[in-house]
Amino acid sequence: MYLKKSFNRKTGRTYLSIAESFRDKVTKKSKSKTIQSLGYLDVLEKKYPDPISHFTEIVEAMENQRLQERINIQLNFSAAEQLDVGTNNRKNFGYAAFSSIYHSLEIDKFLIGRQKSTDIKANTNNLMKLLVYSRLLAPASKKKTYENREQFFERSNYSLDDVYRSLTFLNDKADDLQLWINDRIKEKYGRDTSLVYYDVTNYYFESDTEDDFRRRGVSKEHRPNPIVQMGLFMDTNGIPITYDLYSGNTNDSLTYRPTFSRLKKEYDLGKVIVVADKGMSTGDNIHYTLSANDGYVFSQTARGADKELKTFILEEEGYEWMGDDYKYKERLAPREIWITNTSGRKVKRTIHEKQVVFYSEKYAKKARFEREKALDKAKKLIASPGSYHKATSHGAAAYVKNLSFVKETGEIASGKDLKLDENKIKEQEAFDGYYVLVTSEYEQTAGKIIDIYRGLWKIEESFKVTKSDLETRPVYVSTQEHIKAHFLTCFVALVLARLLEHVTDHRHSITKMIESLQKSTCTNVQQNYYLFDYYDDVLEDIGLALNVDFSTRIRTLQQIKKNISDTKNR
């Protein structure tokens, strides 16, 4: 490694750069490559009294470090050496990938700046990093997360009380931080909001205690625990935009308008097309979307359609088959919807939309399989009603005629002639495999509308990531402020995971990347030397995308800290 001085005869100027010599494997001739461009000598002289001496010293230091890294390291161990109780020399290095994205979004800058106007003593940025990195790589309760804080090469000079106190601060800044992250994503990574996807899920609590926020509602997992609802908006690339939380007993459809209103007001997205499932397909939601000059692609159940649309669905005329098990057709049609006017009354409005009907044999088989399970349960309920109550009859109750429950106990009311609802079973069989999409985008082809709707799987996958990989639930904190802060850290973690997926060109799933980053650990073997013992193709791809070295086997503590520090200056 040397200081290269390139003189240009035409301009009479000298250009400085740091270069390294090497021998070409093919020609066997000596060549050089530029390691770092420094600039023109006359320009550098304005900043340094003697640029050549200054950079010569830097080059010598770089060369010494390079040679130091290449020397053989000898470590001596005694066969009788034992570990003290409580020894834990292993640390995670995989979080360097998330550190790179975290700091590219300048979340540290946001938190440090906002904390200046408070009397909070502990560094909220360090606490946020602990909560987010742990949520990604070692999800646990806040207490357990604090106890495991030494697993990262980060400052940990804070108490458990500081962790809990920071949650109030983070909750206060939640909306502003989401906006800040959105702006950085647009600037650093690009944000495509031509389509925005919306969906709702719920998260349960470890405690059975209800309050104004944690309420029992319709749990997608049929759990009896109190829940909260999360409504999440996501962009076309699957990267989260913003979210809102609602009490557990809030109907899914009622979460759409408040969150969409905030999205339009604060995020400056221009015209968007909102894609959502049947839970959002209400007259009020459609009218609200159209009133904002935006568009929609919503699903609607075939079984819940009006008589005229059901007839259209079941008529074979007009369907275009794609292979042997998939068909679709479309039409432009007026439809009457009920909306709530300014006085709170329900009134009818006529809208003009495209309706796309498609049928999948795969979905039909799935529907038949699920119904058979429910019917088997319904038959057992009819034979032995005393063995069931309202909570345990879920799925089967819809197929049993004359079924009612005692309001106080939830037990099945006695004295009724319970039997299978054959008419309902026949009607459901007729619509197995059929789905309906309704959309304002009538100029788009049916195939395009179906493709747009299929993108909704990305947000469904995001919910799965939060519940499995990030272990967002059960939620252990109890106050509303702390609950909201918990979900903020989960949202930030999800954003980092999605961006990591984005910068690695979706070569690996989030689950696979998290697994590899969890395994990227090192052990303090002696003095300041750390031994790394895991490397795979996933870490290689992540390292190339983010310029993070996961492959070096032995590093000093100083080298590791420099590696981590480099991720914070990008």
Q: Does position 7 have pLDDT exceeding 60, yes or no?
A: yes
Domain ranges of the chain: 2-70, 301-443, 511-567
Which is more confident, 527 or 236?
236
pLDDT digits (tens, 9 = 90+) for 291-319: 999 999 999 999 989 899 999 999 999 99
How much is the average pLDDT of 456-480? 81
Element (H, E) at 38: strand 30-40
Q: What is the rounded CA–CA span in Å between residue 31 and residue 36?
A: 16
How much is the average pLDDT of 530-555? 95
* Tokens linked to 130: 């602990």
Average pLDDT, the chain: 89
pTM summary value? 0.80
Which pLDDT does position 70 carry in this prediction?
A: 61
Percentages (nearest 5) of helix, strand, coil residues in the chain: 45, 25, 35
Q: Does position 222 have pLDDT exceeding 60, yes or no?
A: no
70-74, 122-126, 383-387, 514-518: least confidently modelled range: 70-74
pLDDT digits (tens, 9 = 90+) for 83-120: 889 888 899 999 999 999 999 999 999 999 999 989 89
Read off the pLDDT band of 469 (50, 70, 90).
confident
Which pLDDT does position 221 carry in this prediction?
A: 53
DSSP letter for 398, please: G
Amino acid at 359: Y
Which pLDDT does position 471 carry in this prediction?
A: 77
Q: Does position 478 have pLDDT exceeding 90, yes or no?
A: no
DSSP string, 475-536: B---SHHHHHHHHHHHHHHHHHHHHHHHHTTT-S-HHHHHHHHHH-EEEEEETTEEEE----
How much is the average pLDDT of 423-443? 93
Which pLDDT does position 211 carry in this prediction?
A: 67
Read off the pLDDT band of 466 (50, 70, 90).
confident
Compute the half-sphere exposure of residue 500: CA atoms within 13 Å on the CB side of its CA: 33
Q: Does position 217 have pLDDT exceeding 70, yes or no?
A: no
Which is more confident, 79 or 433?
433
DSSP string, 258-302: HHHHHHHHHH---S-EEEE-GGG--HHHHHHHHHTT-EEEEEEES
Q: Does position 399 have pLDDT exceeding 80, yes or no?
A: yes
Which pLDDT does position 10 carry in this prediction?
A: 84
Q: What is the rounded CA–CA span in Å between residue 409 and residue 391?
A: 11
Whole-Å CA distances, 55 to 32, 50, 58, 409, 559: 18, 9, 5, 83, 22
Which pLDDT does position 24 carry in this prediction?
A: 67
pLDDT digits (tens, 9 = 90+) for 135-192: 999 999 999 999 999 999 999 999 999 999 999 999 999 999 999 999 999 999 999 9
Other CB atoms within 10 A of residue 288 CB? 18
Q: Spell out where 376-468 has E strands.
A: 400-401, 419-420, 434-439
How much is the average pLDDT of 493-507? 96
Which pLDDT does position 520 carry in this prediction?
A: 97
Element (H, E) at 353: strand 346-360
Which pLDDT does position 480 carry in this prediction?
A: 87
Other CB atoms within 10 A of residue 18 CB? 18
Which pLDDT does position 207 carry in this prediction?
A: 65
